[in-house]
Amino acid sequence: MRLLFAAALLGILFVCAPASTGQKSAAEQPDISRSGRDFLEVCSSAGSEGTRDAVGIQRDALCLGWVQGFTDGFLVYGELLSVPRRDRMACVPRGVTTTQIVRVIKKYLADDPGKAHRPTRYIASIALAGAFPCKAGK
């Protein structure tokens, strides 16, 4: 499993490595974690079909990597503290893909655009808790 994770991480780093194609420098790229607006800018095409240029592929990889890392960290926190499942903020079912979680976050922002100025970690936490509650009967 660790070997698979390492290979995936290397693949993302390779895709995200800057190339000399006139792309924006790292300082010019939006910071996906800064706000929902930046998240939407980076993740605008993630999960959609169609051909991509190098910049689009780089943004999709950045988006999917950030969302997967955030989700894993967000969910493991309750596990590490031995919080009973029913008391955790979110319980993402097995089989839910990173692309589906990106869509959940985008929907949250579409439904409440006034929150787009908030840090992405706040938005993603609330979106996950709303879409995948742990409470019985929800």
Residue 22, in any domain of the structure: no
Mean predicted confidence (pLDDT) in 106-117 = 95
- Domain that includes residue 124, residue range: 35-131
* Residue of higher predicted confidence among 113 and 6: 113
Mean predicted confidence (pLDDT) in 79-86 = 88
82 CB-contact burial (10 Å; exposed 0-12 / middle 13-18 / buried 19+): exposed
Residue 52, in any domain of the structure: yes
Give the whole-number percent of the chain exceeding pLDDT 70. 75
Residue 2, in any domain of the structure: no
pTM metric for this prediction: 0.75
Split at pLDDT 50, 70, 90, the class of 51 is low
Mean predicted confidence (pLDDT) in 34-52 = 84
Q: Is the pLDDT of residue 21 over 80?
A: no
Residue 100, in any domain of the structure: yes
Residue 94, in any domain of the structure: yes
Mean pLDDT taken over the chain? 81
